Structure 1
Amino acid sequence: MQDEKSQHKNKDKALKILKARLYEKQIEEQQLANAKDRKEQVGSGDRSERIRTYNYPQNRLSEHRINLTLYSLEEIMLSGNLDEVINPLIAHTQSQFE
């Protein structure tokens, strides 16, 4: 990178090029991370990708994302109190970000 006769000008030019390359690499890594996060949030769209199952004959509610099974479906549906389902989901989500 010796285009100039001055060492200082060559050094400044080299630092500018280095900063530009590092910035491009950082942007690329950020875009890859964003794409990965987006893909994880969207999922595959496959029919077998289940979130929650309500099985009335067995009085069972299954939350497939965190492998939670509750045998109190009727109570949950009648009371409308979803805390038994929501609190473990929140705890699981928070544990992923720690």
Structure 2
Amino acid sequence: MSNQTDHTIVRLRVPPELKQKIEESAEKNNRSQSAEMVARLEESFKESDDPKTLESLAKIVKETTEETTRLHKELVKIIEQQKIEIENLKQG
């Protein structure tokens, strides 16, 4: 458990609904409201700094880009085929 000398006091305004969620979560996790907020903040920074999370996101972006490119090429082919069919209908 930490003591007050290794922490800084931060005043924070939150909407009443969020305060209620913090209270409920703190009680569920057997923590003070302050400890609950600190734990949640620390977790949010940990996730964004985690190289595995960044790798996963990079992989998703790469796969999405590749799939978008593939679909675009397929769509261009379909449009070209439809143009040819329209021209054939006009001529014949």
Q: Same fold (TM over 0.5)?
A: no
TM-score, normalising length from structure 1?
0.40
TM-score, normalising length from structure 2?
0.42
Larger strand percent:
1
Which has the higher relative contact order, 1 or 2, with Cα contacts under 8 A spaced 6 or more apart? 1
